[in-house]
A and B are shown apart, each in its own frame.
Chain A
């Protein structure tokens, strides 16, 4: 699964 490029969590 692709590593998330931006962290969308706080």
Chain B
């Protein structure tokens, strides 16, 4: 463990908590893409299949458990409890166009052709594009509540910090995982224009308005 990965994991945890609190407190999931939340639930489910079979550390097990429970709780809140506030008119991204290519790619490019490893690889590829429906929704509505932009900033920062973690691990431990690194770069690049808007607008107290 290193500071980059620890802060990255905490930023990830913060993002998930911000989202759950936003939906629970405002009793609304307006401006949030349910499709992205479904993809995240799939990401954690397929990545943490070894939750009960492989023990890395108490921290690792607890965090995996929290991510899985929180992602399913968010999907439940959006599609069941606060279903009436779900913006299905704008949340129209076809997630099958993400699921199928990621699955095929995970069968072609992986470290080891076993169920666990292919599922882990699939989750890595899927996570890199899982935010697309959310970014698509924000671009369609042209704006985002500030709490939603804080959620996106924390979520985007987590993988950006993981990039630093991988640089550190390569230098300090001669350890690198090319599949995770390439996907992590793609994932972080997808946030770039959002990061720009967040830093130039939201941090100045303005609303996140996308140029029409």
Contacts and interface: CB of A to CB of B under 8 A. Distances in A.
Nearest to A8: B56
Contact of B60 (A1, A3, A4, A8): A8
Interface residues of A, number: 8
A9 to B, nearest CB: 7
B165 to A, nearest CB: 8
B162 interface: yes
Given A1-B174, A4-B175, A9 B162 contact: yes
Nearest to B1: A8
A10 B174 contact: no
B50 A9 contact: no
Contacts, number: 25
Interface string B145-186: 000000000000000001001000000001111001000000
A9 B67 contact: no
A3 B180 CA distance: 13
A4 B177 contact: yes
Nearest to A1: B174
A10 B177 contact: no
A4 to B, nearest CB: 7
Interface in B164-211: 165, 174-177, 180
B111 A3 contact: yes
A10 B48 CA distance: 8
A6 B44 CA distance: 16
